[in-house]
């Protein structure tokens, strides 16, 4: 696979992730598919957590991860960028959306999503349609689905 320009690749942002194995799996997915990862702290675990290290293996390259100490710092940095929130509270399917190369796709905490104040800040909200009576997918699976669609649409394959 050829190298992608770091300014023209999609970004996956995690809002206060709280399950180390999911975050580690997402780091691997982003590393393998050439997406930038952004983590809005605080995390619900330490990066030295053995569950995290077991899954992340040697894919942890901190130069490909931006850490933000708060949501305020994250959104201040993103003022001139498009942020798309993945949420079960949206009525718009990701498959009906036109992704752009430099999008930041924001995913909430596994245990609680994002707070209402984040919903109010973000203009674009999408969902992954699920079968009736199903609540949600695993976060790492959701990231993989959405990142694959974004890359497909922006011709990154």
CATH number for the domain harbouring residue 119: 3.40.1280.10
Pick the residue with more confidence: 34 or 15? 15
Look at residues 153, 94, 118, 136 and name the one whose alpha carbon lies nearest to residue 13: 118
Residue 1 belongs to a domain: no
The answer on pLDDT for 38 being more than 80 is yes
Helix (H) or strand (E) holding 79: none
Residue 14 belongs to a domain: yes
Strands of the sheet with 65-68, listed across from one edge: 65-68, 36-40, 11-15, 104-107, 83-86, 124-126
pTM for the structure as a whole? 0.88
Q: What is the pLDDT averaged over residues 4-16?
A: 79
Residue 122 belongs to a domain: yes
d(CA 43, CA 39): 8
Residue 76 belongs to a domain: yes
Q: What is the pLDDT averaged over residues 6-25?
A: 86
Tokens representing 142 are 């959701």
The answer on pLDDT for 40 being more than 90 is yes
d(CA 146, CA 157): 14
- Supply the range of the domain harboring residue 102: 6-153
Comparing 3-7, 14-18, 37-41, which segment has the lowest mean pLDDT? 3-7
Residue 78 belongs to a domain: yes
Pick the residue with more confidence: 21 or 11? 11
């Amino acid at each position: 696979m050829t190298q992608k320009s770091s300014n023209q690749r999609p970004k996956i942002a995690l809002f206060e992730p709280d399950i180390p194995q999911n975050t580690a799996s997402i780091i691997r997915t982003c590393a393998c598919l050439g997406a930038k990862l952004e983590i809005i702290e605080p995390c619900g675990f330490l990066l030295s957590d053995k569950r995290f290290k077991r899954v992340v293996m040697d894919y942890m390259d901190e130069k490909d991860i931006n850490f933000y100490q708060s949501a305020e710092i994250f959104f201040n940095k993103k003022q001139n960028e498009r942020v798309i929130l993945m949420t079960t509270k949206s009525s718009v399917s990701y498959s009906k959306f036109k992704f752009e190369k430099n999008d930041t796709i924001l995913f909430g905490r596994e245990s609680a999503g994002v707070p209402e104040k984040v919903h109010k800040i973000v203009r674009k909200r999408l969902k992954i349609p699920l079968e009736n009576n199903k609540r949600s997918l695993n976060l790492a699976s959701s990231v993989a689905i959405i990142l694959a669609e974004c890359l497909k649409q922006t011709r990154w394959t």
